[in-house]
Structure 1
């Protein structure tokens, strides 16, 4: 069974992105790595909160419709529907996301991007010029993270443009084209301060998709 990250990009999208990374890295010593993740956190609290809210609303509505405003109806209905809604929230991403506050989503994506940056070795490039384009499917969020060598010369707000390119493309259902376009733009930005070196090597993967083999 394929994961959400694997379904996010078809084979043509992947090839297009890889070619965009290869072309961008011909002009810069920077290392650009797009990474697509299923989700940045499991958000267990969303399951409890969703089941609690939906279970209580269902129990209250049932008591009102039946004209039996008694705890002996409310409790059995609540307990039964709590279990049902708990499982529904756990298995339906769209419903689960509804019970996760925006600031929690943003924090989880930011932390997951930092973790991925280190797990995949972007902090170990020769000139500290690794840049991660982190896309988390469940949250519908994009986070760009650059290493110290880049951050010393490129203002952090520069990456807002890259995030915008990808999120706009995702809304149009053209995520593959959008990521490739964002990679090309990263290459243009990096080539100004980090031109290609004669002894430059490709140090990192050109695309990482969570769930793929050998990644």
Structure 2
């Protein structure tokens, strides 16, 4: 999925609503919210080897009866992996995908330099399309004021929105949850005119 395809997931109204929601949340505290969307968090090369092993075993087992059926079965298995996303996800495994999404979130957090906010109050919302998962990652100032488990719980609940293929609604819900979570926290004050990080969605390959 290319960048232009990612952009098509959001209408102009969606983009405007997300920017407005971020601006509203940031006016209440020094939090800086960064929305980001990516097509996939890993190439999952290990899954290809896993599939190959299964296909070879299946082909060898069935070839005892018919070589043609064996080759057809192996071809069907490979085709299913390439074309049927739920099958690919099952082959990769939910636990491993979850791990890779969080690893990717940490990478994006560094590459987007979210840690450079004046008060270390940046929050990344990463949506990974293929895995249909969300990772909400915050910087140290906010992290130490909240229960670490809270962020994983929020991310898991937001993933339900992605399972329904609603990235825009998921992003808006994430912003609202962050706003509610930091509300009332003793975060450092900032100049309301000081927007340290752009509110626009990042589309990354």
Q: Fold conserved (TM > 0.5)?
A: yes
Q: 1:90 to 1:168 in 2, by over 3 A?
A: closer
1:48-104 CA-to-partner distances (Å, cap 9, x unmatched) read: 21133134325534544x4xxxxxx48x945x8657755763565443222112222
Contact 1:52–1:82 (CA<8 Å) still a contact in 2?
Answer: no
Q: Count residues with an aligned counterpart.
A: 202
Aligned to 2:39: 38
Aligned to 2:51: 50
Map 1:165-204 → 2, pairs under 5 A: 165-193=157-185, 194=187, 196-198=189-191, 201-204=194-197
Map 1:98-109 → 2, pairs under 5 A: 98-109=90-101
Q: 1:99 is paired with a residue of what secondary structure? A: helix
Contact 2:58–2:73 (CA<8 Å) still a contact in 1?
Answer: no
- For structure 1, which runs of at least 5 residues remain unmatched after alignment? 67-72
1:107 CA displacement: 1.6
1:14-45 CA-to-partner distances (Å, cap 9, x unmatched) read: 22212211111111111011211111110111
1:18 and 2:19 correspond: yes
Higher-Rg member (1/2):
1
Scaled by the length of structure 2, what TM-score is found?
A: 0.81
More displaced stretch, 42-51 vs 172-181 = 172-181
- For structure 2, which runs of at least 5 residues remain unmatched after alignment? none
Contact 2:58–2:70 (CA<8 Å) still a contact in 1?
Answer: no
Aligned to 1:141: 133
Contact 1:55–1:81 (CA<8 Å) still a contact in 2?
Answer: no
Q: 1:127 is paired with a residue of what secondary structure? A: coil
Scaled by the length of structure 1, what TM-score is found?
A: 0.78
Q: 1:143 is paired with a residue of what secondary structure? A: strand
> RMSD of the alignment, in Å?
2.9
Q: 1:9 is paired with a residue of what secondary structure? A: coil
Q: 1:171 to 1:45 in 2, by over 3 A?
A: closer
Contact 2:120–2:141 (CA<8 Å) still a contact in 1?
Answer: yes
1:176 CA displacement: 1.4
